[in-house]
Amino acid sequence: MTKSIKTVKRSTEPFDSAETFPPFSYILFQLYTFHLFDYNALYKIFNFRSIFLRFLTLLFFLLLIQNPLQAQALSLKNIAANIQKSLDTHLKGQNKPIVQNIYAEAQHKPLWIGKQNQEKASQLIQALNDPLFNYKNKAFDQKSIRRLFFLLDNNQIDQSKKAAVYARLDLMLTNSMVRLVRFIVQGDVEWSLVQEKLAALEQSDDIKSRWEMSSKEFPDQKELISAIVNGGIYNYLTTLIPMEERYRELITLLKNYRVMDKFPKIKYSNNPLKMGNSSSRVKEIKKRLQISGDYPKNASIDRKFDETLRGAVITYQKRYLLKVNGMVDKTMTYYLNQPAKNNIQAIITNLDKTKLYPKKFEEEYVEVNIPDFNLRYYKDQEKVMKKGIVVGRIDRPTPLFSDAIGYMVLNPTWTITDNLIKRDLIPVLRENPKYLKENNIHTFRGNREINVTQEMLDPYEKSEEPVPYRFVQFPGEMNALGRVKFMFPNKYAVYLHDTDNKSLLSRRYKIYSSGCMRLEKPFELVDTLLEHTRKSYSKSKIDEILESNKPTTIGLKKRIPIHIIYFTVYQEDGLAYFKNDIYLYDKIIQESVEGNKKSTFKIPKKRMISVKKNAQPLSN
């Protein structure tokens, strides 16, 4: 076993040098550090008896807890002096001043070395390997740390150099702690690059993609130093987790998909499989759905398409936003044949997005998840409402930002925005000069209503100058905003509203607006928000206002936060949902990650969702 020698390659991280050591001894070192050791794997490799494993574990644990400093006549003072000396020579990058400050506060004493720091060191090494904090399995100098532990505990360091090596190990652990904290809080996505790519879409594809985002600052150093000096590493790191409930659910999904068996390939067929069919394909589908948790573990794997399989197929179709019909057609077969690595990447990308948000949102708020086509209302962290929404077309995406609903308007008018006048209204009027009259749209110059001609509008169609006329659609059944709009005034001129075309809410991909969000059953949201109005409104009063057909503003004494977000993977009611990356934002993020950065982004010629197919003029 000890004939071959393993060489640890030089890394690009701080603190590194090439060393060699026997792989068997290295595994024994992993044994006494517990969390780095896979007992089952070692048993399979070396066929050790469990009693011998326990003996070795105890032996190396006893070796670890011995204070090597005493036996080697090393003093903490010598190590501290080496730490102070190494702070300038062995550190680099943005974490250097933070590490220097940590040691300055600790008077350059070792923070991880020695028996008194053993528990902290163990917690840190465990945290570096824990997917709860390090879901991308980043190195964080772990190989170098394990190597130095091994060399020191096996007396393979010259006595004259031990103080320097202990100092180097302590620095390495501190630096890894800081890097882990930075990853938990900020991640490794270059968000400024994401913004650059989104902005570039306007020039390349005439798509105005707006996502208000900002990277978080490194957390307060006092709390970090307190955790390092006084212990409680895990508790401290947990306080840093963003969007904690969503984040933990995604981590659980990530763990599950990483250990799933390989998905069997399902043969394509022009004939959909349905209840009562018998086929070898049915057997493979049952295996596939059993692996992903849609088909019960204890259910039979046979050729018969039974009621249990139909239920599993419907569950899968709901999770992936497929047509819910209980049959396995070509489209579903395509999804079933996607490898688990796609799911894993999607989960990781959505974990990356949590870095842009706080630990949790307010006690009461509205959340609109664009690729999910749903609005959810939360009170006291409990979901009290879930409604479907129509969102912006893929060439006119709904902007992502946070704001607060301040008032509602019953019987709203719709003032058509300048960009829609130029992009949609002028071409529509060219085809149908009666469009304004047919849709109850009135034209104003200042406060005076006028009749407008095509000749008056044509010069502005391609002009940078704003159109000098206001086009206002009056209240009524034909109004594009329906009977109510929910206002959170913003620079994008988008809001939530009812719709005159409710059939769009039944579509699979609800991407038909020019940026605003059309809400299913909007008066259920009205009823909820009436709890926060300045005046009391009875149902009869609301009905009276609606019958009057006059625009009426209802103010809220408490503004309700609204968060417009973009999460393509989430867990709800015990099920994992994977939604289409309709705006390609996930793809842009994946190509802006450390180690996989691309300076530009190009929209593919073929997309799963067609722009032309979903484009409708004057869709607010």
Q: Map out the domains of the chain as residue ranges.
A: 6-186+218-241, 280-337, 361-577
Between the two ends of the chain, the Cα-to-Cα distance in Å is: 71
Quick one: average pLDDT of 132-147? 97
Model pLDDT, residue 610: 63
Q: What are phi and psi of 260, to 5 degrees?
A: -65, 145
DSSP-derived 3-state class of residue 126: helix
Average pLDDT score over the chain: 89
Tell me: pLDDT of 62 over 90: no
Model pLDDT, residue 617: 64
Model pLDDT, residue 611: 54
Task: Match 């969503």 to its residue by tokens.
Answer: 246
**DSSP assignment of 327-339, as one string?**
-B-HHHHHHHTS-
What does each C-alpha distance from 329 to 26, 240, 324, 537, 617 come to in angstroms?
52, 44, 11, 50, 33
Model pLDDT, residue 609: 65
- How confident is the model over 491-535, as pLDDT tens digits? 999 999 999 999 999 999 999 999 999 999 999 999 999 999 989
Tell me: pLDDT of 12 over 80: no
Neighbouring-strand partners of residue 368: 375, 564
Cα separation, 229 vs 223, whole angstroms: 10
Using DSSP bridges, classify how beta strands 575-578 and 569-572 pair: parallel, antiparallel or unpaired.
antiparallel
Output the 3-class SS for 382-451. EEEEEEEEEEECCCCCCCECEEEEEEEEECCCEECCHHHHHHHHHHHHHHCCCHHHHCCEEEEECCEEEC
Contacts of 574 (CB under 8 A, 6+ apart): none
Helix, strand, coil share of the chain (percent; to 5): 45, 15, 40
Amino acid at 334: Y
Cα separation, 373 vs 512, whole angstroms: 11
Minimum mean pLDDT among 52-56, 138-142, 235-239, 356-360: which range?
Answer: 52-56
DSSP-derived 3-state class of residue 139: coil
Tally of helices (H runs) and strands (E runs) in the chain:
25, 17
Model pLDDT, residue 615: 56
- How confident is the model over 91-109, as pLDDT tens digits? 899 999 999 999 999 999 9
- How confident is the model over 592-614, as pLDDT tens digits? 999 999 999 999 988 866 655 55
pLDDT band at 490 (very low <50, low <70, confident <90, very high): very high
pLDDT band at 618 (very low <50, low <70, confident <90, very high): confident
Cα separation, 416 vs 424, whole angstroms: 10
Task: Describe the crossing of helices 76-89 and 162-186 by its angle, rounded to 10 degrees.
Answer: 60
**What region does 181 belong to: left with phi over 0, alpha with psi -120 to 50, or beta?**
alpha
Model pLDDT, residue 90: 86
Cα separation, 192 vs 197, whole angstroms: 9
Cα separation, 90 vs 317, whole angstroms: 54
- How confident is the model over 32-61, as pLDDT tens digits? 344 344 434 443 444 444 444 444 444 444
Which CATH architecture is the domain 361-577 placed in? Beta Barrel (2.40)
Task: Match 């009524």 to its residue by tokens.
Answer: 476
Quick one: average pLDDT of 274-294? 97
Model pLDDT, residue 476: 93
User: What are 419's two structure tokens?
Assistant: 């960009």
DSSP secondary-structure letter at 460?
Answer: G
Neighbouring-strand partners of residue 402: 563
CB 406 within 8 A of CB 556: yes
Per the document, the length of the chain is 620
